[in-house]
Structure 1
Amino acid sequence: MKNFIFLISFFLFSGAVNAQNTPVDELFDKYSGKEGFTSVYITSYMFSMFADVESNDPEFDELIKNLKAIKILATDESFTGNINFFKEIIDKLPKDQYKELMVIKEKDQDVKFLVNEKDGKIIELLLIAGGANENALISIQGNIDLKNISKLSKSMKIDGLENLEKIDNK
């Protein structure tokens, strides 16, 4: 009986350890719903609804079918604080897990595209933008094809996603 209780406790504890939030989740939870921030969470159910609607672009249909979630966190125009979650998220990301895909440096803003791969497939694409006036974090999760990802930005018309079009030019 003791072995059975130990075994059950072990599985419950190991499940709790695996369910820990990622740095992206932690940042999203920290600022989501706070004044001066806009957050958007698009679920897999929403993508399944898109997948049911046929488009004229089979590549786009395939992209939508493979997405699990999109999280967007951005400072809005009413934000007057001095928070730079670009640095905050970069410092917390496990360097061995995320690979730099592209970096854009402009006068007052830095944008980084990072990917998380598993078994040779991209399972998460991060766009992290930080600067004097604006911070944005976009996490796209699923089985991601970079060749088609810019189509997502054009079709959804969500602030911040326009930076995804720059991947197409790489």
Structure 2
Amino acid sequence: MKRIKILGLIMTIAFLSTKSFAQDFSKYDNIREITSIVVNKSMFKLMSKLDLGSDDEDVKAYLELVENLDDIKVYTTESLDYGKQLQADFNILKSKNNLEELMRIKDDGKNVNFYIKPGKTDDYVSQLLMFINSSEASDTQSVLMVINGNIDLKNISKLTSQMNIPGAKSLENLKEQ
């Protein structure tokens, strides 16, 4: 009986800790200086059911990709202070979830970082985390993106570019990985 109580307590703490971090992102929803884009599983299911009537392999890969996604959350700001908060949340999330660095890009004053949580196979990940900021004082834009689901890295840039998500161009580099 004591073991059951301890197990229940551990499960409750684990649930609350993941829930509390998910709620941390909602703190950005009503901040004027932060643009937020949140697409949930229901929207992806709807998108995957579109009858595009095409035998095009790219279209098929796109539909398969969106069918396996749970959510995409993107937060972008021009505010230096909120950019620092986004970066702090990025650092917390990558540490809390034990994410592995996939790649880092420093180009034209921009720093782009990708972290992943491995999936069931080498071609898929269960979480993709991206953060973009600038090393130049004149450019204060920051972008934080989190994608959850069964993510095919080879096709993820297609989805984000079609949805016009900030940072989508940086994802094109994943095709080479």
Identify whether the pair has TM-score above 0.5, normalized to the shorter chain.
yes
| Residue 13 in structure 1 maps to residue 16 in structure 2 | no
Asked if structure 1 preserves the Cα contact closer than 8 Å seen for 2:126 and 2:148, the reply is yes
**Residue ranges of structure 2 left out of the alignment (5+ in a row):** none
Counterpart of 2:66 in 1: which secondary structure? helix
1:59-117: CA deviations, max 9, x gaps? Answer: 111101110100111104xx364642464145422288211112111343211111111
Amino acid at match of 2:128: L
Are 2:123 and 1:127 aligned?
Answer: no
Query: Which whole-Å CA distance do the structure 1 matches of 2:89 and 2:144 have between them?
Result: 9
Shift of 1:24: 6.4
Do the aligned residues in 1 keep the contact of 2:77 with 2:83 (CA within 8 Å)? Answer: no
Instruction: Name the counterpart of 1:84.
Output: 84
**Structure 1 contact 153–161 (Cα < 8 Å) conserved:** yes
The answer on whether the counterparts of 1:85 and 1:130 sit within 8 Å (CA) in structure 2 is: no
CA RMSD of aligned residues (A): 2.8
Structure 1 position 38 matched with structure 2 position 40: no
Match of 1:52 among 49, 54, 57: 49
Counterpart residue type for residue 128 of structure 1: F
Equivalent in the alignment of 1:161: 168
C-alpha distance in structure 2 between counterparts of 1:89 and 1:80, whole Å: 14
Distance in 1, matches of 2:169 and 2:61, equals: 19
Partner SS for 1:35: coil
TM-score (structure 1 length as normaliser): 0.80
Determine the C-alpha separation between the residues in 2 that align with 1:68 and 1:90: 19
| Inter-partner Cα distance in structure 2 for 1:130 and 1:150 | 19
Distance in 2, Cα, partners of 1:113 & 1:155: 20
Distance 2:69 2:143 in 1: 20
When normalised by structure 2's length, the TM-score is: 0.77
Deviates more, 1:153-162 or 1:61-70: 153-162
Per-residue CA deviations over 1:97-139 (Å, capped at 9, x if unaligned) read 2111121113432111111114444101111112241111111
Q: Given the superposition, is the C-alpha separation of residues 82 and 8 from structure 1 closer, same or farther in structure 2, using an over 3 Å criterion?
A: closer
Partner of 1:71: 73
